[in-house]
Amino acid sequence: MSGSRVRATTVLAVLRDGVLSMGAGGQVTIGDTVVKHRAQKVRPAAAGRAVVGFAGGAADGLALYERLEAKLEAHPGNVRRAAVELAKEWRTDRALRRLEAMLVVGDPGALLVVSGNGDVLEPDDGIAAIGSGGAYALAAARALRQHTELSAEAVVRESLAVAAEICVYTNDRVEVVTLPEPAAR
């Protein structure tokens, strides 16, 4: 397995009615071998005020998560500013430029996709997806959001189930983080 390419997963976030839900499949593969079923690819950030998900190399994603946490601490309550500052650093720092991952970051007021090319993209419809099954999850989420009254969390869970049936790098062992937390609503 050495030298094999590490494959991404699927991360999906849905912002609906002031609630942000972000989830991911837990599968990790190296080459054509599944090496882990329950990786944590979606994590609370900024003392539980934001959520970050990553797809790509696990070590790279975790390194970027830590950098983003620092930016969120430097710009409390401002996810957009923290994401832009991370994107600038990611694009210009020689070591960071080599990291192979993408991030989705959000809070109940904003949802963004951040890439190493310096992109900070805010989807028009409050739905963002990255990773190998991202297109499948995105399509399912858009249909469910448009044609049902499902909660943001239910849309995420159902859409990731669809992606898991199609994408071989995504499993159905989904972890979802929702803000505000259900008890806080």
CA dist 6 and 124 (Å) reads 30
Q: Report the candidate in 36, 21, 2, 55 with the shortest Cα–Cα distance to residue 126.
A: 21
Q: Is 9 a catalytic residue?
A: yes
Q: Report the candidate in 90, 88, 106 with the shortest Cα–Cα distance to residue 98.
A: 90
Among candidate residues 9, 10, 29, 170, the one labeled active-site is 9
Query: Token pair 């839900």 is at which residue?
Result: 21
Tell me the β-bridge partners of 33.
30
Catalytic residues: 9
